[in-house]
Amino acid sequence: MKRGSISKLLIANRGEIALRIIRTARQLGLATVAVYSDADADAAHVAAADDARLIGPPEASQSYLNIAAIIEAAHATGADAIHPGYGFLSERPEFARAVDEAGMIFVGPPADVMAALGDKVAARRLAAGVGVAVVPGLETVEDRAAEQFAARVGFPLMVKAAAGGGGRGMRLVQAQAGLAEALAAAAREAKAAFGDGRVFLEKYLAQPRHVEVQVLADQHGGVVALGERDCSIQRRNQKIIEESPAPGLDDGLRTRMVEAALKVARVAGYRNAGTMEFLVEGGEFYFLEANTRLQVEHPVTEMRFGCDLVDEQLRVAMGERVGLPAAPRGAAIECRIYAEDAEQNFRPATGDALYLNLPAGPGVRIDTHLMTGARVTAFYDGLLGKLICWGADREQARVRMAAALGEFSLLGITNTAAFLRDVIASEAFREARLSTRFLERFFPRWSPNDEALESLLVAAAMAAGGAIGAARPISSASSSSRGARSDGGRSERGGRSPWAELAGFEPWGRGER
């Protein structure tokens, strides 16, 4: 892997993270290139970058996962570095290798280091090799061996994919009867998501907390840690609320965990921002896996340490040394707002953003690609945005988060903001009774309370009333202005304005004179 300066950065991603990376690149004086699929022609990241290239149809497998098309886009635009963001190709060693072979800088670890750490089985061995505890598990999964392992450690067991992350390819098995089927289903999901169907078994901890350590490593052997994040609140094994510091964590345990994270990073020869994930239960911690990329929840660390992790990533990629981080201040919490229905077991939702109000205020940060008129499709992950709040202490951050979520308003796409507001406002969260079973325990089912329902019905009645005899059809004005945009090649989107579907949408009280 070569070192050198970067002048033009291609971002091989979409959504909020593409926007977030473009922001920092611009602050560093780098030119930026966005890539996009047919479904994203109107997306915010395309407009934000200096240049943009279409890389394929909406299906991720043919666009955002299409290594050849992305390398070609980089060549065509003269980019000399590629940032993978998170998800998509960010943890595919073959992508890192392809970028390297194309003579460009990959903003991430060397391909072989990524391969070693990204494989959960190999990473477990690596950690165990330097004396870091891992969850009892079984690496080679044949039905017979799996049965024996199950007999030894007992159910429930967790089936996990060796590759990838984000909860994909994970299955909880309660009893012998479901074991073979869970192994097969997890292997199928893993094969579909990562092209690698290898799975392994782990003992299932009853009430663990998920705590992870942010590390930053350069190519000169410098490795630093930037505190920890508690990411215990999850649905479908995917985080939705993260915070730093991890509340109530024993200082001794924290210190030992940070040391373990640094040890794993060092022995792996890591370079780049990265995360070492642990499960914490009963005063012990177990290494879980390494994430060799920027995390979704990285802003939590940025808010507390006053740093910019993308800036650090780019500097490391250019061969600079990592410095000692500043002392952390206060506490930070992140809520991920998804296009999902919290009342229907977080079923994914799609739609068009008809109205959007974003929160603001002291200590409030929002990372989002949402805008009025934006369309959310089923093609990609449903993350709409991340709300991050900082406070002098956890309680101030929590109160700010509750208020900020209360300000957030999105019409037209079912989303989790109201659910998150209720979680943040709950006694269980205030008292930090955190475990990965938090939602099962405290929010097994959720629906808007009666006051919220009344407000919604009032809003519905007013919307219906306001639309009667609408004399000023905003819809036609809006769609014609969209159609008139000089966006060569995207004209087919012109007729799909979300406003066109509405019988009438107008500022209340001004329609009828």
Partner 1 sequence: MRLKRQGDAREFEVELLGQNRQDNADQGDADGRRAVRIAIDGREIAASVATMPDGSAMVDLGGRRARVAGARRRSSIVAAAGPFAAEFVMIEGRTAHRTGGLAAPEVDAPMPGKVLKVLVAEGQPVEHGDPLIVLEAMKMETTLYAESPAIVAKICVVAGQMVDHGARLIELSPAAISAKPPESPSRDD
Nearer to partner 1, 172 or 326 (CB): 172
Which tokens hold the place of 151?
């007999």
Q: Could you count the other beta carbons within 10 Å of the beta carbon of residue 365?
A: 17
List the one residue from 54, 411, 425, 428 that touches partner 1 (CB under 8 A): 411
Of 467-486, binders to partner 1 (CB under 8 A) are 467, 474
Residues forming a β-bridge with 387:
335, 366
Contact by Cβ (8 Å): 385, 370: yes
Under rule CB under 8 A, residue 454 binds partner 1: yes
CA atoms within 13 A on the CB side of 292: 31
Under rule CB under 8 A, residue 447 binds partner 1: yes
Nearer to partner 1, 24 or 414 (CB): 414
Under rule CB under 8 A, residue 178 binds partner 1: no
Task: Return all residues near 384 (Cβ < 8 A) that are at least 6 apart.
Answer: 337, 338, 339, 368, 370, 376, 410, 413, 415
List the one residue from 114, 280, 405, 423 that touches partner 1 (CB under 8 A): 405
Contact by Cβ (8 Å): 186, 237: no
Shortest distance in whole angstroms from residue 345 CB to partner 1:
9
Contact by Cβ (8 Å): 258, 275: no
List the one residue from 246, 466, 482, 497 that touches partner 1 (CB under 8 A): 466
List the one residue from 83, 168, 198, 336 that touches partner 1 (CB under 8 A): 168
List the one residue from 102, 343, 433, 472 that touches partner 1 (CB under 8 A): 343
Under rule CB under 8 A, residue 406 binds partner 1: yes
Contact by Cβ (8 Å): 401, 417: no
Contact by Cβ (8 Å): 497, 473: no
Of 421-440, binders to partner 1 (CB under 8 A) are 421
Shortest distance in whole angstroms from residue 293 CB to partner 1:
18
Which tokens hold the place of 357?
């109000």
Binding pattern for the stretch 123-152 against partner 1, x by CB under 8 A and - elsewhere: ------------------------------
Shortest distance in whole angstroms from residue 156 CB to partner 1:
18
Under rule CB under 8 A, residue 410 binds partner 1: yes
Q: Which amino acid is at 383?
A: L
Contact by Cβ (8 Å): 257, 228: yes
Sign for the CA dihedral angle at 165, 167, 168, 173 comes to positive
Candidate ranges 30-38, 85-93, 142-150, 449-457; the one touching partner 1 (CB under 8 A): 449-457
Q: Which long-range contacts (CB under 8 A, 24 or more apart) does 51-55 make?
A: 51/77, 53/77, 54/489
Under rule CB under 8 A, residue 500 binds partner 1: no
List the one residue from 178, 222, 319, 348 that touches partner 1 (CB under 8 A): 348
Q: Could you count the other beta carbons within 10 Å of the beta carbon of residue 132?
A: 22
Of 226-245, binders to partner 1 (CB under 8 A) are 236
Candidate ranges 71-79, 142-150, 256-264, 349-357; the one touching partner 1 (CB under 8 A): 349-357
Under rule CB under 8 A, residue 196 binds partner 1: no
Which tokens hold the place of 37?
């699929």
Shortest distance in whole angstroms from residue 141 CB to partner 1:
19
Shortest distance in whole angstroms from residue 380 CB to partner 1:
11
Candidate ranges 117-125, 250-258, 336-344, 432-440; the one touching partner 1 (CB under 8 A): 336-344
CA distances from 341 to 103, 345, 354, 415, 484 (A): 44, 7, 17, 6, 35
List the one residue from 76, 130, 453, 471 that touches partner 1 (CB under 8 A): 453
Shortest distance in whole angstroms from residue 417 CB to partner 1:
4
Under rule CB under 8 A, residue 181 binds partner 1: no
Shortest distance in whole angstroms from residue 415 CB to partner 1:
6
Strand 8-11 vs strand 81-83: parallel, antiparallel, or unpaired? parallel
DSSP H or E stretch at residue 64: none
CA distances from 482 to 58, 165, 264, 373 (A): 21, 38, 52, 10
Of 369-388, binders to partner 1 (CB under 8 A) are 377-379, 381-382
Under rule CB under 8 A, residue 354 binds partner 1: yes
Nearer to partner 1, 166 or 330 (CB): 166
Candidate ranges 151-159, 255-263, 291-299, 459-467; the one touching partner 1 (CB under 8 A): 459-467
Which 8-state DSSP code applies to residue 328? P
Region of 319 please: left (phi>0), alpha (psi -120 to 50) or beta. Answer: left
